[in-house]
Each structure stands twice: as structure tokens, then as C-alpha cells.
A = this chain, B = another copy of it.
């Protein structure tokens, strides 16, 4: 049971903790905007799809946010779900049956849970718990969850595909750190890893979620048919690779170090996500959509500096572990300059999927 399944090998890539200048807390406006845009869709999903038969006899409605990071976006999303469920009960005249809520904030054990816990909203209307571990393995008891939310987390693979760092493989990703501008074999290795990870993800969730329970997934994605190299967010990773190769040419990092570094992120297409859900077979797709481009409400302009800060919050841990702390400032300074010299334009593509756990048997 728990031990075996949750010990599945999976690397941890925590977002930058604390609340300092480069922290995820202070550099996740984009994710917040998306959460805001997804709010309407989630409200609608709960109003239309939430089935009262799943209400537990114990009157506790259990919610999990998978890959929650350190906040504040997770608190915003969770609060929205709680309010939408309360509203649904009230609109049906079931005020006296409004459940208690228990919310499980999940991320890797190396996530900064200390920051998460000390910044929990004091006026929250739910019991809070933190759950450490990879969402590619089991995290919760059988049939214990009613609503699973995951935003900007499922594009992180459980690990870098082994072939892309294997010099003897045709998928060896020399001189690059990502698949989108690389040989087809590299992209194939990434998409295969994605498919394997999704198999683990849906297998675990199928056991944990009650029949009728809902999953909302929000992931950066690739429009069907669009080449990897045209996807905006892929190009922002390629730019990191280009900066690293510049530094290698200047002798600031070894080229071999760059060759052995790859970003374990995959931006899947709706078709790829659908295929994974179909292979699992336990969930029906109630809705899948691309979010409309979000209007920026960030207090900083969308400059190279702003994007560089955003990328640093997400990637600093990964880069530091491989290259050491010394290269960070130089890398992200040159990133900002390169971006300003040749901006990557256009809105991000974000997939939202609403899934329902089918009845078994």
C-alpha cells in the first residue's frame, strides 16, 4: 500500500521558497492571473458537475491542491473552490447540509512548507493540512478526495528522460537543455516520459478520488498541431539554453555541464492529455479548453527583467543544483537582456481540463 506506491522514484524541483526578491511567492503573478481566469470555469464546473451523491456521510468535503508550491495562488484557488461548493449547496436550499472542508496542500517534501503554513489565510473556512510527496505516486487513502485541483504543476515531469543525457543514445541532447529546438528523438523521449508520468498520475488519482469526484487541471500547453518550437513558453526555456551556451563559449561554465543539464518540463497538447486520460479509463472528460489570453495585471511591466525574475523563481533550484550558485545572477541578467533585444511575443497557451471519476464496476 502507501509505502510501495509512494516511494516511486521522482525528482523534486521545488519552487524558490521564502518570500525574498526571487521567491515564487513574489514572482507568480502570471499563475495568479491564470487562476483568476480559471475561476469562472471552476465555478461553472462545480455548479453543473458536482454530484450531491458524493457527499460523504461524515460531512467532510476533502479537497487536494497538487503541486501547491508556497502560495499565495494556492490559497486563492482553494478559497474559490470552497466558496463555489458552499454556493451550490445554498442555491439548492441545502444550507443546513453545507459540509465542513478539509484542504490538503501537496507538493514535494523539499517544498517550503514552513512558508506555506505560516502564510495560511487566518480567516480560512477549512481545516488545512500539508501532504509531502510526488503526485506521480499515491498520496491519499482510497476514495478519500472529492475535488482535486492542480495548477501549473503537471508540466513538470517526474525526471529528465534518461536517454537525453546518455551520450550513446540518438536522443542525446548535446548543446541544448530542452526538447523544443532539438532533434526529434529528444522530443520523443520527452513525450514518452510525459505519457509514463500521466499513467502514474491518473492511476493514483483513480484510487484516491470518490466516484463522481472532480479533477481540475490547469497546465501550460501546446495547441494541437503546433510545432514544439513555436510554443511561447517552450521558447522561453530555449532562451535559457541559449544563455547557458553563451556562458559556455565565454568559459563561464563547461560545455559538458550544459550538455548534461535538461529541464524536466513538457508542454503537452490537448490530444496528448486526452490520450493519457483515455488510456487510464477511469475518468470522463467533462470539459477541455484553452484559456483565452490573459490581460496582464502584474505590477511590473512585461519586460525582460520581469520575465527573467519569473523564470528564476521557477528554475533557480534546478540550475543551482547542477551548476552551483555562482552563475545565477549572470545567467538571469543575460536572459533579461537577450529577451529585451528580441522579445518573445504572444499569449501563453493554457489548457484547462475538468474530469470526473467514473463509477466503477
Contacts and interface: CB of A to CB of B under 8 A. Distances in A.
Interface of A: 1-3, 6-7, 56-60, 100-102, 104, 109-110, 112-114, 117-118, 120, 122-133, 138-144
A223 B163 CA distance: 67
A97 B194 CA distance: 36
Given A1-B100, A100-B141, 11 more contacts: A3-B125, A7-B122, A58-B141, A58-B142, A58-B143, A59-B141, A102-B144, A112-B114, A113-B113, A117-B132, A129-B131
A142 B58 CA distance: 8
Nearest to A108: B117
Query: Considering residues A102, A130, A139, which has the most beta carbons from chain B within 10 angstroms of its beta carbon?
Result: A130
Contacts of A124: 2-3
A141 B56 CA distance: 12
A126 B125 CA distance: 27
Query: Considering residues A56, A114, A125, which has the most beta carbons from chain B within 10 angstroms of its beta carbon?
Result: A114
A352 to B, nearest CB: 27
Contact of A117 (B57, B109, B118): B109
Contacts of A101: 2, 141
Nearest to A100: B141
Contacts of A130: 113, 117, 129-132
B110 A113 contact: no
A126 B6 CA distance: 10
A254 to B, nearest CB: 30
A67 B132 CA distance: 18
B3 A142 contact: no
Nearest to A106: B129
A140 B127 contact: yes
Contacts of A120: 109, 132
A339 to B, nearest CB: 33
B58 A127 contact: no
A18 to B, nearest CB: 11
Contact of A109 (B110, B118, B126, B142): B118
A93 to B, nearest CB: 20
B127 A139 contact: yes
B141 A60 contact: yes
Given A1-B100, A117-B109, A120-B109, A127 B132 contact: no
Given A113-B114, A117-B113, A125-B3, A142 B104 contact: no
